[in-house]
Amino acid sequence: MTPTLRTHFDLELRRAEQAHARGAHQDAWRFLERAHVLSQAHAWPHLRVHGAMFRWAVRHGDWRELLGQLPRLILAAPGSWLGRAPLGNTGGANVGIFTPMDIPEDLRAILAAR
């Protein structure tokens, strides 16, 4: 990750933690999704986001999400290494594991600045 991309990635993770701390759990999830989009091309950060998503699911007793994160935890790093992570995918169990998605404009600008 470039320093700029790392800064934005870390910011999204911090925002997720802060939102969770104030009880804004859905906001926390949205920040995790944004971090996921930024991390997809980088194995360790990509795996780290899926770990955070798994922890979010455990905290909230969301079994669907928890079970959906298990294969993603296994496939995240290899998907990044092989360039197979679908661009823009937000990483949750509510979307297909290999489904590309539109990237929000602000995140697209961050990714383009790499």
Interacting residues of 102 by C-beta distance below 8 A, sequence separation 6+: 88
Kindly state the average pLDDT of the residues 5-24.
97
Would you state the pLDDT for residue 114? 61
- Residue 29, pLDDT > 70, answer yes
Taking CA 96 as the corner, what is the angle to CA 95 and CA 97, rounded to the nearest 5 degrees? 115
Any alpha helices (H) in the chain, and if so which ranges? 3-21, 25-39, 43-59, 63-81, 105-112
pTM: predicted TM-score of the whole model, two decimal places: 0.95
